[in-house]
Amino acid sequence: CDVFCLLLFFYLGHADAPVLQGLWESVRAGQQQILLSPYLAASFAFLTHLALCAPFLVLDALGGVCQRVRSWRMAAGSGPPPSLWKWYECFWRVLFKYITAVLPATALFQLLRSSSLPELAPSCWQLSVEVVACFLLFDTLFFIWHYCMHRVPWLYRAVHQMHHQHHVPFALAAQDASSAELLSLLLLALGSAWMLGCHPLSEALFHFLNSWLAVEDHCGYNLPWALHRILPCMGGAPFHQTHHKKQSKNFAPYFTHWDHLFGTYIEPRSYFRKRHDRTVMK
Ligand SMILES: [Zn+2]
Ligand SMILES: [Zn+2]
């Protein structure tokens, strides 16, 4: 019980000495200017996206020669992994949109938001609650926005259609969308953390995990260690790849509860199986 109490004490943190205080103070001391830069949000989003895509670039390259890697790719005729040329083209498209639209627009948003750095770090409990709350709010806002983009024809054509050029997405394609859509998604993420009044450390962790899950959604692999296999409330790559194939279903980015509630959920396996059966019958 003593060990349990001690762990609980460290987890919940203490008002005077939270577990994360040391980390927060060292970040604050050295990086104050960077942390308060209005360009941080867009730069962080772009760079973490690239870093998180890197392992999938390796997997895609290995897929050409390694049968085991190919076996992790999702069924339903997803075909061979995308070529390096496809990655290269996609990289320049995304970079161009970040420089010309996302970076200046989010800088303006951040300037209006006038953030400051608190002295105290959050407790581990506060950090976890804030990150989970951010995800639930972001998931809800994204679901509504995504649903609207599919239901309003001009909105679909002007904003969302470009992202659906990928019938079989790959990791980097998570951000291959129109400038308006990229901007709207980053503003939804920033807005979620802002509305909840999150600590900057919780917000940074949320943005990092958000990039990771978006990359995983689009990676094209149903990996044995993917998060949706541990947490059944999450859809993961099979759920979102089904949306890229059948656009009237699976609108939420991460969790499946909104699609269940609104009757827009389709079980990825049943969809892939149906397509596979049709292919076999042909
Ligand atoms: Zn997508
Ligand atoms: Zn869509």
Q: For the chain, which residues make up each domain, given as ranges?
A: 38-111+123-226
What is the C-alpha to C-alpha distance for residues 249 and 243, in angstroms, rounded to an integer?
6
More confident: 126 or 280:
126
Q: What is the pLDDT of residues 5-60, one digit of tens each?
A: 555 555 555 544 567 787 888 777 766 777 778 888 889 899 999 999 999 999 88
Q: Which ligand is nearest to the CA of 174?
A: 1
250 alpha carbon, closest ligand? 2
* 208 Cα to the center of ligand 1, angstroms: 18
Q: Average pLDDT, stretch 67-71? A: 79
Residue 225: band (very low, low, confident or very high) from pLDDT cuts 50, 70, 90: confident
Confidence of residue 272 (pLDDT cuts 50, 70, 90): low
Cα 203 to ligand 1 centroid, rounded to whole Å: 23
Is 221's pLDDT higher than 60? yes
The CA distances from residue 27 to 23, 114, 121, 146, in Å, are: 6, 19, 11, 36
Predicted confidence at residue 64, as pLDDT, reads: 73
Q: Does residue 276 carry a pLDDT above 50?
A: no
The mean pLDDT of 144-171, rounded to a whole number, is 94
Q: Which amino acid is at 251?
A: F
Predicted model pTM: 0.85
Q: What average pLDDT does range 88-101 have in this prediction?
A: 94
What does the pLDDT read at residue 279? Answer: 44
Mean pLDDT of 139-157: 96
Which range has the top average pLDDT, 33-42, 51-60, 135-144, 182-191? 135-144
Instruction: Tell how far the Cα of 163 is from the centroid of ligand 1, in angstroms.
Output: 6
List CB contacts of 117: < 8 A, sequence separation 6 or more.
28, 32, 35, 36, 200
Choose the weakest-confidence range: 3-17, 232-246, 266-280. Answer: 3-17
Q: What is the pLDDT of residue 280?
A: 40
CA of 16 to the centre of ligand 1 (A): 44
Q: Which ligand is nearest to the CA of 215?
A: 1
Give the CA dihedral 214, 20, 113, 158, nearest 10 degrees. Answer: 0
Provide mean pLDDT across the span 64-91: 79
Lowest mean pLDDT among 29-33, 132-136, 264-268, 275-279: 275-279
Cα distance between residue 43 and residue 235, in whole Å: 28
